[in-house]
Amino acid sequence: MNMVQLKDVDLNLLVVLDALLREQSVTRAAERLELTPSAVSHALKRLRKLFDDELLLRHGRQMRPTVRAESLAETLPRLLHQVSRTIEPPEPFSPPTSSRTFRLAAPDFIAPLVPSLLRDIHAKAPGVRVELAPYSKSAIRDLADGRYDALVATAAVRSEDLRAAPLGTWPWAVYARAGHPAFDDWSVTAWSTYPHLQVRPSVLEGQGPTDRRAAELGIHRVVQTVVPHFSMAAPVLAQTDLLLTVPSVAMGDTAAAYDLDNRDLPFDLAPMRLSLFRNAAEGDEPGVRWFLERVTAVFGDRRTGSRSATKVHPFHNSTKP
pTM: 0.64
Residues 164 and 281 in one domain: yes
Residues 295 and 159 in one domain: yes
How far are the Cα atoms of 23, 48, 164 from residue 301, in angstroms, in the given order? 45, 54, 19
Tens digit of pLDDT for each residue in 237-279? 999 999 999 998 888 788 999 999 999 999 999 999 999 999 8
At 300 the pLDDT is 84
Domain CATH code at residue 195: 3.40.190.10
Percent of the chain with pLDDT over 70: 88
Are 197 and 224 contacting, i.e. CB atoms less than 8 angstroms apart?
A: yes
The verdict on residue 60 lying in a domain is: yes
β-strands 172-177, 243-247: how paired?
Answer: antiparallel
Grouping H, G, I as helix, E, B as strand and the rest as coil, residue 228 is coil
Residues 189 and 122 in one domain: no
- DSSP labels, 181-212: GGGGG-SHHHHHHS-EEEE--TT--S--HHHH
Per mean pLDDT, which of 77-81, 96-100, 142-146, 313-317 is the most reliable?
96-100
Banded model confidence at residue 304, pLDDT cuts 50, 70, 90: very low
At 6 the pLDDT is 64
CB proximity list for 10: less than 8 A, separation 6 or greater: 46
Domain CATH code at residue 12: 1.10.10.10
